[in-house]
Amino acid sequence: MLRVALTGGLASGKSFVGKTLERLGCLLIQADLLGHEVLLPGGEAYQAVVREFGSGILDKEGRIERRKLAAQVFDEPERLTVLNSLVHPPVRVRTREMLDEFAAREPKGIAVVEAAIHIETGGYRNYDRLILAWCPSGQQIERAMDRDGLTREEAAARLSRQMPLEEKRKYAHYVIDTSRSKQETVRQTEEVYRQLRSIEQ
């Protein structure tokens, strides 16, 4: 089984690329989605996060409100490190289990793990190939404003806390330019898929 890391940045189009690869037949694992699941009541990180960050992050149903949690770690690198130390280990366990199950079922398959911080954590080293979804930083800000209802200042502040996509290019085996039409992004993604399929396993 070929293990592929897919990364990008704020509103860079990585989820669209991931969904396209899934449509082409890859297994898609979205680390962000797993991160949400482990924070649900009964999830592996739920109790530890509530204990660490307090009941003020909960809604009336006892669910963690991710905006309230995010507000506690925004501009607080140490608190973000603590949160990551509680959320990332169970996400890694779930990812490993899904990869193992897929490898047993599809030994010649391609598994794509989509995560924003593959490079920052060094996790990309555990994969055979790394794909970067890239677009100019100004376009990231515009897309984040449209998608998330952020002000320009809020979007720029979020972007400033991420490794620049230009820096990430140095690590990538494949760069998919998402700055143009969706059809063009699909075309590039299909070409990368063909190249991944040609790799001897």
> Domain of 49: which CATH number?
3.40.50.300
pLDDT > 70: what percent of the chain?
100
Same-domain status, 16 and 40: no
Measured distance CA(133)–CA(7) in Å, rounded? 6
* Whether 2 contacts 129, CB under 8 Å: yes
Residue at 102 is within a domain? no
125 and 157 co-located in one domain: yes
Which range marks the domain in which residue 54 is found? 32-97
Residues 13 and 45 in one domain: no
pTM of the model: 0.94
Return the closest-CA partner of residue 116 out of 73, 82, 84.
Answer: 84
Same domain, 120 and 189: yes
Q: Is the pLDDT of residue 75 over 90?
A: no
Q: How confident is the model at residue 74 (pLDDT cuts 50, 70, 90)?
A: confident
The confidence score (pLDDT) of residue 35 equals 96
Residue 103 within a domain:
no
Number of domains present in the structure of the chain: 2
Reply yes or no on whether the pLDDT at 123 is more than 80: yes
Q: What is the DSSP letter of 58?
A: B
- DSSP string over 1-42: -EEEEEE--TTSSHHHHHHHHHHTT-EEEEHHHHHHHHTSTT
